[in-house]
A and B are shown apart, each in its own frame.
Chain A
Amino acid sequence: MFDSLKKRLHAIRNAFGSSIEDAMGPAPEEEVEQPLPEAASPVQTGETPPAEEKRERPTVINRLKVFVKEQEVLLQEKDIQEPLFELEMALLENDVALPVTDEIIARMKEDLVGRRRRLRSSVDVLVLETLRSALCGVLGDGLNLIDYINSHERPIKILFIGVNGTGKTTTVAKVANYLRKHGFSVVIGAGDTYRAGAIEQLGTHADRLDVKIIRHQAGADPSAVLFDAVEYARAHRIDVVLADTAGRFHNRANLMNQLSKIRRVVKPDLVVYVDEAVAGNDAVIRADEFNRTVGTDAVVLTKADIDPKGGAAISIAHTIKKPIIFLGTGQGYDDIVPFEPRAVVDELLGGEAQCWTDSERP
């Protein structure tokens, strides 16, 4: 996942780096007007570039001058316009939705332009830190489902919602399999009573996984089915209820109302919004709608095997500020991967960001 973005980001980091260096002008030693042999010794850290090390006994004036030149940089927007544009294109090409791209760019700008930025060691680190904080800010914190289940009262009820065909039913089956492997008992509720073949689809999955499924007939009230599934879990001391629902579009008020009703009846611990990695800009709009009208607690992003760029992950997480818990990476039961934002950002930035601890970040 994120491979192509990663590649682009690497190039862009370099572009930022050289733009910033250009903006800073020639190296400090050439700037010093008086041809004094002395120059500032580094003010605080051991991260001084080697060039400065031979300097000694600075005058106060020189010391100040070099301090400004070496430790701080004041950037104008035009200095970084080009790499910013490249970053924008890279994000867009990787399916990060336009408004989210705008926001990342704005964050980068805000962090870099017009402010005196202290350079800890190198321009590259400054760029890395800024990118990292922009991406972390956008991806948010993760959520570990196993920890969650362990720390809450059972049965844990999880409701899966989303637009048509994103992979809700398949995800229910995958999560059932995943949880069982982690030692939890599971019951599935066939809450899609509308779409042709939906009950048979989930039924086949349940049979193959040998998981209990609660189902009614096609056309039955979905709330009633799911209520029965919850009752079943209570009566049989089942750990987790996984509730499937019919796909629906966020602009269909009656269908959204039905979902709100299901929510009231089931009283889920987690409402999981399922969308697909292949979705473009609409991902932002519908995630926002579902989040506002029904409410969501977490996100599963499916079909990451079709679109490993990951832009939709960034878009959705940023828009509804809810953690992504899993990526779907294929049609097999094991094609599900827990999502850890920090690891993803580290991965995106080429692993180098890992060496920066929290306290070192701006």
Chain B
Amino acid sequence: MANKVLMKGNEAIAEAAMIAGCRHYFGYPITPQSELPAYLAKHMPKRNGVFLQAESEVAAINMVYGSGGTGVRVMTSSSSPGISLKQEGISYIACAEVPCLIVNVVRGGPGLGNIAPAQCDYFQAVKGGGHGDYKLVVLSPSSVQEMADFTVLAFDLADKYRTPVMLLSDGYLGQMMEPVEMPDASNIKKYDKPWATTGAVGRHQNLISSIHLVPEDMEKHIHHLYEKYAEIEKNELIYEEYQCADAEYVMVAYGITARICKTACVMAREQGIKLGLLRPKTLWPFPKQPLAKLAGSKNVKGFIAVELSTGQMIEDVKLSVNGVKPVEFFGRTGGVVPSPNEVLLNVKKLFSLK
């Protein structure tokens, strides 16, 4: 226990980012992620890092574009409305292959909405968000410990594949305190970045750009990106199965919702219902094969996607299950978070269980 400290999720990301070697942060204030920039404003100067509060999210993401292009580890964070503003920049960053971390501490939307926890930005994170043919690696922590661990992982994946990575969190994970053991700095891997715009000393020009005027060139570049994405799908998928071995019904849930579902699983077992949970830790890549496999298993009678939205991830669940078994949905939205009991009642209702 000695090295476990009680921390807010937002602070855990900030501390882990510095451990991962991030010394550049550009952002703009927004609730419920304010503890993250506040922490970095305090600690970056002590570690010779740059903390810059930009005039807007639009500026902040373009600072990330410039900074990441020079090869340093860089991040930004925001919450839903701010992430919307960042989409143009994210599209440029994806195309120009600039490694960086973007944290979204999701809140209730659309519009100004509210500051309560939500998962309504799944489509935006996983299906593009900005314009054009691209993907983000999307990591979904479900505890304060994972807020820290996935931050380190995100920087690694970003550098390894020269790609932007998003940490998709929510207001509860950002605000809650749990014990966390900070990742070990000595395990941080460093990557060569011969492509970075650091000044062309003894070499040809390096260029960070997203313009490909000739359609054939653009197509070739997009194919290059998608080859990379295929590698990521092959190598980097992570997920957790909980009480799935003998499950008759499998919930699919991520982030804070997965924890609520875990408690619902325990309650279900007490009532003799064989309920399991599949929790994607990467939302892209999505655990298609594991779900397909569960769908093919004799025990499993059906799936239920549980989300803090009106149903977004369920589309990926359906694509994975591919009609083999029924896929139902339960969700609360607008910042409302269901209790484990509410989840269980709805599972029972949807599958007519006693």
Bound together: no
Binding site for A on B (CB under 8 A): none
